[in-house]
Structure 1
Amino acid sequence: MNAIAQTSTVAAIDPVTLTVVEKGLQQVCTEMDLVHEKTSFSPVISEAYDRSNGIYGIQDGRMISQGETGLPIFLGVMQECVHSVIKERAEHLNPGDVIIVNDPYRGGTHLMDVKMVMPFYYKGKLWCYLANAGHWPDTGGMVPGGFSTTATEIHQEGLRIPPVKIMEGGVLVQDIVDFVLANIRVSEERIGDIHAQIAALRAGERALTALIDRYGLDVVNDCVAEIESRAETMMRAHIADIPDGVYSASAFIDSDGVVNEPLEVALDVTVSGTGITFDFSRSSKPCRGPLNSVWATTQSAVFIGMKHIFPNVPMNAGCFAPLTVLRPKGTFLYAEYPRPVAGCSAEVSQRIMEAVFLALAKAIPGKLFAAPAGTSGNLSLGGFDPETGEHYIMYYFSGGGYGGWWDGDGISNGCSTIGISKSQPVEILEQRYPLLFERYALREGSAGAGQFRGGMGVDYRMRLLRGEGTASFLMEHGRFGPPGVLGGEDGQPNRIRLNIQGREFEPEHLSKGENFRLLEGDYIDVGTPGGGGYGAAEDRDPQARTADERLGYHG
Structure 2
Amino acid sequence: MANLSIDPATLTVMENALRQIVDEMDVALERAAFNPVMSQARDRANGIYHKATGEVVAQGDTGLPIFVGVMQYAVQSALEAFPDLEEGDVVILNDPYCGGTHLMDVKLVRPFFYKGQRFAFLANCGHWTDIGGNVPGGFGVRATEIIQEGVRIPPILLARKGVMREEILTLLFANMRVPEERRGDLQAQIAALNVGAARLTNLLDKYGDSNVERYIDELRERSERQMRSYIKAMPDGTYVAEAFLDSDGIDPAPIRVALSMTVRDDTLAFDFTGSSAPVKGPLNGTLSVTFAAVFVALKHIFPEVPINAGIFRPVTIKVPEDTFLNAKYPRAVSGSSAEVSLRVVDAVFGCLGQAVPERVPASSFGSVANFTISGYDPEQRKPYIMFRFSGGGYGGHAGGDGLTNANSPIGASRTTPIEILEQQYPIMFDYYRIREGSAGPGERRGGFGSEWQIRLVRGDAVSSVLGDRGRFPPAGLHGGGEALPTVVEYHRAGTPYRPEHLTKDEGIVLHPGDTARVAMPGGGGLGDPRRRDPRKVLTDVLHGLITAEDASAQYGVVLTSGHGGWLIDDVATREARAAALP
Q: TM-score, normalised by structure 1?
A: 0.97
Question: Does structure 2 conserve the Cα–Cα contact (< 8 Å) formed by 1:58 and 1:86?
Answer: no
Match of 2:216 among 216, 224, 227: 224
**Structure 2 equivalent of residue 199 of structure 1:** 191
Question: Does structure 2 conserve the Cα–Cα contact (< 8 Å) formed by 1:485 and 1:533?
Answer: yes
Match of 2:83 among 72, 78, 90: 90
**Structure 1 equivalent of residue 343 of structure 2:** 351
The CA deviation at 1:22 is 1.2
Question: Does structure 2 conserve the Cα–Cα contact (< 8 Å) formed by 1:75 and 1:303?
Answer: no
Residue by residue, what CA displacement relative to the aligned partner does 1:121-148 show, whole Å, maximum 9, x if unpaired? 1110111110000000000011110011
The CA deviation at 1:551 is 2.9
Where does 1:397-476 land on structure 2 (aligned, <5 Å)?
397-476=389-468
Residue by residue, what CA displacement relative to the aligned partner does 1:438-463 show, whole Å, maximum 9, x if unpaired? 11110000000011100000111110
Return the letter of the residue paired with 1:122.
Answer: Y
Return the letter of the residue paired with 2:11.
Answer: L
Counterpart Cα distance in 1 of 2:156 and 2:356: 46
Matched, 1:190 2:182: yes
**Structure 2 equivalent of residue 490 of structure 1:** 482
**Structure 2 equivalent of residue 40 of structure 1:** 33
Match of 1:248 among 240, 252, 260: 240
Counterpart Cα distance in 2 of 1:272 and 1:307: 19
Counterpart Cα distance in 1 of 2:147 and 2:337: 17
Return the letter of the residue paired with 1:58.
Answer: K
Counterpart Cα distance in 2 of 1:100 and 1:62: 18
Return the letter of the residue paired with 1:88.
Answer: A
Match of 2:104 among 97, 106, 112: 112
Question: Does structure 2 conserve the Cα–Cα contact (< 8 Å) formed by 1:53 and 1:66?
Answer: yes
Question: Does structure 2 conserve the Cα–Cα contact (< 8 Å) formed by 1:154 and 1:339?
Answer: yes
Counterpart Cα distance in 2 of 1:432 and 1:548: 36
Counterpart Cα distance in 1 of 2:39 and 2:193: 16
Question: 3-state SS of the aligned residue for 2:472?
Answer: coil
Return the letter of the residue paired with 2:31.
Answer: K
**Structure 1 equivalent of residue 256 of structure 2:** 264
Question: Does structure 2 conserve the Cα–Cα contact (< 8 Å) formed by 1:358 and 1:485?
Answer: no
Matched, 1:392 2:384: yes
The CA deviation at 1:11 is 6.5
Rg: which structure is higher?
A: 2
Return the letter of the residue paired with 1:117.
Answer: V
Matched, 1:320 2:312: yes
Match of 2:8 among 15, 40, 51: 15
Matched, 1:72 2:62: no
Q: Percent identity?
A: 50
**Structure 1 equivalent of residue 47 of structure 2:** 54
Where does 1:454-533 land on structure 2 (aligned, <5 Å)?
454-533=446-525
**Structure 2 equivalent of residue 4 of structure 1:** none
Question: 3-state SS of the aligned residue for 1:365?
Answer: coil
Return the letter of the residue paired with 2:125.
Answer: A
Question: 3-state SS of the aligned residue for 2:397?
Answer: coil
The CA deviation at 1:407 is 2.2
Counterpart Cα distance in 1 of 2:25 and 2:10: 23
Counterpart Cα distance in 2 of 1:75 and 1:363: 26
Alignment RMSD, CA only? 1.1
Question: Does structure 2 conserve the Cα–Cα contact (< 8 Å) formed by 1:371 and 1:483?
Answer: yes
Counterpart Cα distance in 2 of 1:204 and 1:75: 15
Unmatched runs of 5 consecutive residues or more in structure 2 = 551-582
Counterpart Cα distance in 2 of 1:249 and 1:13: 42
Matched, 1:25 2:18: yes
Unmatched runs of 5 consecutive residues or more in structure 1 = 1-9
**Structure 1 equivalent of residue 165 of structure 2:** 173
Return the letter of the residue paired with 2:531.
Answer: D
Question: Does structure 1 conserve the Cα–Cα contact (< 8 Å) formed by 2:47 and 2:68?
Answer: no
Return the letter of the residue paired with 2:474.
Answer: P
Match of 2:355 among 360, 363, 372: 363
Residue by residue, what CA displacement relative to the aligned partner does 1:40-85 show, whole Å, maximum 9, x if unpaired? 1111000001100011112221000111110000132011110111
Match of 1:132 among 124, 129, 134: 124
Question: Does structure 2 conserve the Cα–Cα contact (< 8 Å) formed by 1:436 and 1:463?
Answer: yes
Matched, 1:337 2:302: no
Question: Does structure 2 conserve the Cα–Cα contact (< 8 Å) formed by 1:13 and 1:219?
Answer: no
Question: Does structure 2 conserve the Cα–Cα contact (< 8 Å) formed by 1:281 and 1:329?
Answer: no
Counterpart Cα distance in 2 of 1:106 and 1:185: 25
Return the letter of the residue paired with 2:362.
Answer: A
The CA deviation at 1:539 is 1.4
Counterpart Cα distance in 1 of 2:160 and 2:368: 36
